[in-house]
């Protein structure tokens, strides 16, 4: 007597998300792919770039022609002297305020579920954030170029070599890239793009106005003067002025170490901010998409 064969039952396994690819080279490639995607998106929405240009141009016009003659720098109340003093601060403010848009963009991607789609792909986890910050850096660079042209039209001039001028712009863009990681962390920490925009602006106003961007720090109360002189934003502004040759004659340089060595201080601050906040942002991204 033989028994009937028992049919085999098919087993199914749960779908497994692709494992992220490792390696520095592969991570860089993934970051560039994400950056390209964000740049294409920016091109399709030119209003974002246009409106991003309006504010810094308005600041140049207002401070140069409305307040320029009433603010003394280096003992001079000449609008031309203040214009040269001002521009490094306007450049730094422009690259810094761009971080609010970076945070809002990441929050928007999270809100729409785009980050979950990226998570399903076999790509490096940090590439999503790195690609976003690189795309924002490209946009900020274009904005700074246009702003520099406007500044030249209204009378701003540099008085150093081409290499020093380019180094000044490089420090400004490095600061903007560093702060974009703070924006990324804020964008990952809130639920809506509106909250990311608000949160991204709250810390920018004291950072930029308690600094030497618009007025010499010597005009501030002593406790604010100390804050301004050790502000990473102030260090980069001071470094840009030195590299552009825009420090007015007789301008008193504060004794604080960052003001005496602004180029070194600017690089140290920017690298430190990138290391700390990139680590925090990637960790937050991993926990948010786990």
Domain assignment present for 116: yes
Domain assignment present for 178: yes
Task: Note the pLDDT tens digit of each residue in 169-206.
Answer: 999 999 999 999 999 999 989 888 888 888 888 999 99
The percentage of the chain sitting over the pLDDT mark of 90, rounded to a whole number, equals 40
Task: Note the pLDDT tens digit of each residue in 28-79.
Answer: 888 888 888 888 888 887 777 787 778 788 878 777 777 666 676 766 667 7
Domain assignment present for 21: no
pTM: predicted TM-score of the whole model, two decimal places: 0.85
Domain assignment present for 229: yes
Contact present, 257 and 179 (Cβ < 8 Å): no
Q: Which of 207, 185, 202, 208 is nearest to 288 (CA)?
A: 185
Q: Where are the beta strands (DSSP E) in the chain?
A: none
The residues near 155 (Cβ < 8 Å, ≥ 6 apart) are: 64, 80, 83
Angle between helices 24-44 and 46-61 (to 10 degrees): 80
Which residues are registered as beta bridge partners of 73? 76
Look at residue 18 and tell me whether its pLDDT is greater than 80.
no
Quick one: 20 exposed, middle or buried, by C-beta within 10 A (0-12, 13-18, 19+)?
middle
Task: Note the pLDDT tens digit of each residue in 121-179.
Answer: 777 777 888 989 999 999 999 999 989 998 898 889 999 999 999 999 999 999 999 99
Domain assignment present for 212: yes
Contact present, 69 and 81 (Cβ < 8 Å): no
Domain assignment present for 240: yes
Domain assignment present for 9: no
Q: Count the Cβ atoms, other than its own, within 10 Å of residue 283.
A: 14
Domain count for the chain: 1
Quote helix, strand, coil % in the chain, to nearest 5.
75, 0, 25
Domain assignment present for 220: yes
Mark 55-76 as b/e (b = at least 16 C-beta within 10 Å).
ebbebbeebbeeebeebebbeb
pLDDT at residue 70, rounded to an integer = 65
Task: Write out the residue range of the structural domain in which residue 114 sits.
Answer: 41-289
**Dist. CA 186–CA 99, nearest whole Å:** 10
Rounded to the nearest 5°, which phi and psi values hold at 249?
A: -60, 135
Q: Which of 239, 255, 269, 257 is nearest to 177 (CA)?
A: 269
């Amino acid at each position: 007597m033989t028994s009937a064969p028992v049919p085999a039952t098919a087993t199914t396994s749960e779908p497994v998300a692709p494992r992220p690819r490792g390696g520095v080279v592969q991570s860089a490639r993934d970051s560039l792919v994400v950056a390209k995607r964000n740049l294409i998106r920016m091109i399709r929405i030119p209003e974002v770039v246009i409106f991003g240009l309006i504010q810094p141009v308005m600041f140049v016009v207002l401070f140069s022609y409305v307040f320029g003659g009433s603010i003394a720098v280096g003992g001079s109340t000449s609008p031309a002297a203040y214009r040269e003093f001002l521009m490094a601060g306007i450049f730094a403010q422009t690259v810094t305020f761009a971080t609010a848009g970076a945070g809002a963009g990441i929050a928007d991607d999270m809100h729409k579920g785009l980050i979950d789609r990226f998570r399903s792909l076999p790509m490096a986890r940090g590439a999503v954030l790195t690609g976003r910050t690189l795309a924002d850096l490209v946009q900020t660079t274009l904005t700074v170029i246009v702003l520099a042209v406007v500044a030249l039209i209204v009378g701003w001039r540099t008085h150093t070599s081409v290499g020093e001028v380019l180094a000044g712009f490089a420090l400004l863009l490095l600061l903007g890239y560093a702060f974009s990681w703070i924006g990324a962390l804020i964008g990952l920490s809130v639920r809506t793009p509106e909250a990311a925009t608000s949160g991204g602006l709250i810390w920018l106003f004291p950072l930029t106005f308690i600094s030497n961007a618009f007025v010499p720090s010597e005009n501030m109360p002593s406790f604010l003067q100390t804050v301004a002189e050790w502000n990473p934003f102030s260090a980069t502004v001071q470094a840009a002025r030195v590299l552009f040759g825009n420090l007015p004659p007789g301008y008193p340089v504060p004794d604080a170490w960052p003001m005496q060595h602004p180029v070194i201080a600017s690089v140290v601050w920017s690298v430190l901010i990138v290391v700390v906040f990139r680590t925090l942002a990637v960790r937050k991204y991993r926990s948010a998409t786990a």
